[in-house]
Structure formats: C-alpha cells, structure tokens
Homo-oligomer: A and B are copies of this chain.
Amino acid sequence: MHDRFLKACRREPVDCTPVWFMRQAGRYMKEYQAVRAKRSILEVCKTPELAAQVTLQPIERFSLDAAIIFADILLPLEPMGLSLEFVESEGPVIRNPVRDRAAVERLRVEDGEGLAYVEAAIRQARQMLAGRVPLIGFAGAPFTLASYAIEGGSSRNYVLTKQFMYREPEAWHRLMDKLARVVTGYLRRQIRAGAQAVQLFDSWVGCLSPGDYAEYVLPHVQLIFEGLKHEPVPLIHFGTGTATLLSLMKEAGGTVIGVDWRVHLDEAWKKVGYDVAVQGNLDPVVLFAPLHEIERRVEDVLTRAAGRPGHIFNLGHGILPNTPVESVAAAVDLVHKLSQR
C-alpha cells in the first residue's frame, strides 16, 4: 500500500512529500459536475455508492497521496434536529437555527444511526480504493458547527454566534459540549468503518481572539481529541486565519496541525512544535496563477518545510470552484518532483 501520507502524519521519513487537497472532489472537475448535475450535495452524501464514486474521482485523475471521503462538515447537525439545506449560490441554510437555551436543550445527542450512510460510504470507498491510497474521514469542529447552527448559514462577522457566547455562556458551553460529544462518536465510527486518518475542520475559528478561543472553544476541542487519543490513526486539526491560535490549537489536540497561507510554514511549525506534523499551506488562489508562479510557490512551501519529516502538502483551504484542472495536476506533480529525497 502507498503509505507516504500516513508515514508523514506520523513524522516518519518518506521518499517525497505527500500531497492531497481539501475539496479535491469538487465542482472544478467535470466528472464531479456530471454526478451533481441532477443531484443535490445531500443526495450524493447520502448515497454511499455516489459518495464513494466522487471520493475516487480525483484519485483516478491525479497522483494524490490520500483520498478524503465525500461528505459535508454540517451533516451531524441533521440527526441533532436541525434542518439542513443547500441553497444554490447561497450555501448551507438551517431554517431552525439555535438561538436560545431551549433550542440547545432540544438538540439530540444520539448514537450515530443518523449518519450510518457516511460509514457505508467509507466502507465502499475503501473497497474501491483497494489500498491505492489511504482514506481520510472528517467532521466539522464544534465552533464551526455552532456558528452555522446559530447564524443559520454562512456569516461574515459571526455576530449572532459571538453574541450567544457572550450573553449565554452556560448555554454556549452546553451547545459546544453536545457538539463535541456528537463529533467524537461520529469520528470514532468513521475510523471503525475504515477511515485511516481523520480531520477536524474548524474552518471559521480564526474569527476569534486568542482569549475567546481559549475560553469558549479549546476545552471542547480538547474533549474530542482526548476521546480519540487511543484510536490508531492520525488526527488532523485544521482551521484558517489561525496564525495567532496555533499554539492553542496544538494544546487542544491533534497529531497533525493544519496551517493556512497567511503564515509562513517554518514559523508555524516552530510555533506548534516539532512533536506534531503540519499540513499546508499554499493559498488556493495560487492554482489560478501561471505554471511558473505555481512552481515558485510550491517550492517556497517545500523549502520552508526544510525536508523535516512530518510535512503533508495541502492548500490552506479547499480548492475553489473554477480552479483549472491542469493546475491541480501540475501542483501535485511539482510537490512530488521538487521534494524527491
């Protein structure tokens, strides 16, 4: 089995730097568009054959070192009692957002039956991958999930989320605790189903001050990583805009820390410490640049990683719609070529 990715997660030496991209199965690929043409995101997520098929599309096309199961970070909100919809050009919408303590109390923390379709998709994808590359499972982190649950969708300034945090700290912690327990069970079941690494996406946590992160978020993320620490797989902890949160995120847990492009990789790694691996950190918009610019920037990231075992190449956030497919292919090959040892 091709295990460059898992070795790097464990900070073991590898022949060249492994690479995968967040949202590597997505709208920028014609194959994906074909599957999505007549189906909603939720329909694809909930049909294990389709989710597995889409998961493998980028693996068939690029020399990627890991697959990530096709799913959405918000899926766990549905079995908790929130109505999840994806509205064209608007993104996720929750029509019954959590706005008070009573709504928090109503949220269910069940045993995971409601997400069995993700486990089925993982089993099927593992079978289809047949050991070619490892499969990553994932979940949204409590803060990011809470922000969608409270705002009812995407947000620019997270006013309702932070307001809830400041005005109803007890209800906030209760909400975060419920989310943390749901996420822990969900990730554990993904591992049982065959996920060979899991990533926690705290995509929007970078909107918080370090003080607020420490007080309102860290303990809950810690609960998740504590609950997973005996699992035999790498635990990736990811966020964006987190330059000032990195050491707190490391404290919260994870054996691999995700780093976006707003901070130099060498500085980030120094900050989190060399006892964890790091994943990142190319700006996704670089894939819109001409090839020589892509090469220059891939090289810069690799140079900053300095050949130290424990770097997984990735973007700082997901691949954007309209990213040129040739640039994705070129970036993957460049990472391998420029990091040959």
Chain A residues near B (Cβ < 8 Å): 157-159, 162-163, 166-167, 206-212, 241, 243-244, 261-264, 267, 283-286, 288-290, 293, 297, 300, 320, 322
Contacts and interface: CB of A to CB of B under 8 A. Distances in A.
A285 B161 CA distance: 10
Nearest to A261: B209
A317 B293 CA distance: 33
How many copies the complex holds: the figure is: 2
Contact of A283 (B209, B262, B264, B289): B209
Given A157-B285, A289-B167, A263 B162 contact: no
B244 A264 contact: yes
A320 B167 contact: no
A146 to B, nearest CB: 14
B289 A163 contact: yes
A209 B262 CA distance: 4
Contacts of A244: 243, 262-264, 267
Contact of A288 (B162, B208, B264, B293): B162
A262 B206 contact: yes
A108 B92 CA distance: 42
A207 B284 CA distance: 11
Nearest to A161: B285
A283 B157 CA distance: 10
A154 to B, nearest CB: 9
Contacts of A209: 261-262, 264, 283
Contacts of A263: 210, 244
Nearest to A241: B241
15 contacts: A157-B285, A157-B320, A158-B285, A159-B285, A159-B322, A166-B289, A166-B293, A167-B288, A208-B262, A210-B264, A211-B297, A212-B283, A241-B262, A243-B244, A244-B262
A283 B244 CA distance: 15
A284 to B, nearest CB: 7
B162 A285 contact: yes
Contacts of A157: 284-285, 320
B159 A320 contact: yes
Contacts of A166: 285-286, 288-290, 293
